[in-house]
Amino acid sequence: MSRRLLTGLLIGTSVLYAGVREPSLAASTACANLAALTIPNVTVNAATAVAAATFTPPTAPPVGYGPWPQLPAFCRVEATARPTADSEIKFEIWIPPAEAWNGKFQGVGNGGYNGTISYTALISALKRGYATASTDTGHTGDDVKFGQGHPEKVIDYGWRAIHLMTDTAKLIVRNAQGRFADKSYFVGCSAGGHQAMSEAQRFPDDYDGIIAGAPANNRVRQTFAFMHAWAATHTADGSPILTAAKLALVTKAAVAACDANDTLKDGLIEDPRKCTFDAATLACKPGADDATCLTPAQVDAVKKVHEGVKNPKTGEQLFTGWPRGSENFGETAIQGWRQYITDSKEPSRVGVFKYWLFNDPNWDVRTLDYDRDLAYMDERLPHMQAIDRDLSPFKKSGGKLISYAGWMDPVVPPQDTAAFYEGVAKVMGGYDKTRDFYRLFTAPGMGHCSGGPGPNTIDAVTALEQWVEKGVAPDKLIATHSTAGKVDRTRPLCPYPAVARYTGKGSIDEAANFACVTQETPSAKRTSR
Ligand SMILES: [Ca+2]
Tens-digit pLDDT profile for residues 125-141: 999 999 999 999 999 98
Measured in angstroms, how far is the CA atom of residue 430 from the centroid of ligand 1?
28
What pLDDT, on a 0 to 100 scale, did the predictor assign at position 407?
98
What radius of gyration do the chain's Cα atoms show?
23
Mean of the per-residue pLDDT values for the chain? 93
pLDDT (average), residues 34-47: 96
Average pLDDT over every residue of 156-184: 97
Q: What is the pLDDT of residues 484-506, one digit of tens each?
A: 999 999 999 999 999 999 999 99
How many whole angstroms from 445 Cα to the centroid of ligand 1? 9
Q: What is the pLDDT of residues 216-230, one digit of tens each?
A: 999 999 999 999 999
Find the catalytic residue in 163, 234, 448, 481: 448
Q: What percent of the chain has pLDDT over 70?
A: 93
3-10 contacts, C-beta under 8 A, 24 or more apart: 5/202, 6/202, 9/163, 9/202, 9/203
Q: Is-contact 255 454, C-beta < 8 A? A: no
Q: What sections of 244-355 are H helices per DSSP?
A: 244-258, 296-307, 350-351
**According to DSSP H, which parts of 381-430 are helical?**
392-396, 414-428
| Average pLDDT value for residue range 384-398 | 98
363 phi and psi angles, rounded to 5 deg: -55, 135
Ion ligand 1 residue ranges (Cβ < 5 Å): 259, 262, 264, 266, 268
Measured CA to CA in angstroms, residue 339 lies from 289, 314, 411 at distances of 24, 31, 8
Sequence letter at residue 200: A
Number of other CB atoms surrounding residue 318 within 10 Å = 19
Q: How confident is the model at residue 521 (pLDDT cuts 50, 70, 90)?
A: low
pLDDT tens for residues 426-450? 999 999 999 999 999 999 999 999 9
Map residue 164 onto helix, strand or coil. Answer: helix
Ligand 1 mean position to 272 CA, how many Å? 10
271 C-alpha vs ligand 1 centroid, how far in Å? 9
Q: Which H/E stretch holds residue 432? A: helix 432-435
Please give the pLDDT value at position 12.
36
Span 70-111, pLDDT tens digits:
999 999 999 999 999 999 999 999 999 999 999 999 999 999
How, if at all, do strands 438-443 and 400-406 pair? Answer: parallel
Catalytic residue (one of 206, 259, 388, 409): 409
448 in active site: yes
- Rounded to the nearest angstrom, the distance between the alpha carbon of 259 and the centre of ligand 1 is 4
CA distance 523 to 429: 17
Banded model confidence at residue 17, pLDDT cuts 50, 70, 90: very low
Q: Kindly name the residue from 118, 184, 190, 344 that is annotated as catalytic.
A: 190
Instruction: Please tell me what DSSP assigns to residue 36.
Output: G
- pLDDT at position 433 is 97
Whether 190 sits among the annotated catalytic residues: the reply is yes
Q: How confident is the model at residue 21 (pLDDT cuts 50, 70, 90)?
A: very low
27 — pLDDT class (breaks 50, 70, 90): low
Of all residues in the chain, the percent with pLDDT exceeding 90 is 91
Render 209-246 in DSSP notation, one character per residue.
EEEEES----HHHHHHHHHHHHHHTB-TTS-BS--HHH
Q: Is 139 an annotated catalytic residue?
A: no
Q: Residue 23 has what pLDDT?
A: 44
What H or E segment, with its residue span, contains residue 90?
Answer: strand 89-95
Quick one: average pLDDT of 340-355? 96
Helix 219-232 with 296-307: angle, nearest 10 deg: 170
Q: Which residues contact 459 (CB under 8 A, 6 or more apart)?
A: 477
Please indicate whether residue 415 or residue 24 has the higher confidence score (pLDDT).
Answer: 415
pLDDT of 68 higher than 80: yes
